[in-house]
Amino acid sequence: MSIYRELLAQREELDRKIEEARREEVSSAVVKVKQLIADYGLTAADCGFKTGPAVAGPNLGNVRPPVAVKYRGLNGETWSGRGKAPRWLTNLEAQGRTREEFRA
């Protein structure tokens, strides 16, 4: 058998042993953690874990709150004043109305 094949076989055996050792240690750690939680009556919040709907998924931690309404139209339309002006407001301005008339 070549040295290369022997080394591959050794690596597979080591990988198997590593995974087995990890499983045993994780199992032991979980038992210890559960015991500490029970002994001290700890909660997820006590341990620094976020719970419930406040837990953010990927890239959700950067979500900004909605911007307040700055302009309100005749039919309840709204615009924050950011970005391109909405069609309802540009149409009213084309009719001779001013933007300030619709300030919320």
Can you tell me the mean pLDDT for 9-33?
A: 96
Q: What is the mean pLDDT of the chain?
A: 89
Closest CA to 73 of 91, 49, 50: 91
* pLDDT at 56 exceeding the cut of 70: no
First to last CA, the chain: 83
Can you tell me the mean pLDDT for 12-21?
A: 96
Residue 93's contacts (CB-CB under 8 Å, 6 or more residues apart) are: 85, 99
Instruction: Return the CATH number of 67-104, one of 4.10.430.10, 3.40.50.300, 3.30.565.10, 3.20.20.70.
Output: 4.10.430.10
**pLDDT for the residue 58:** 64
**pLDDT for the residue 62:** 75
More confident residue, 32 or 61: 32
Can you tell me the mean pLDDT for 56-72?
A: 79
The domain locations on the chain are 1-48, 67-104
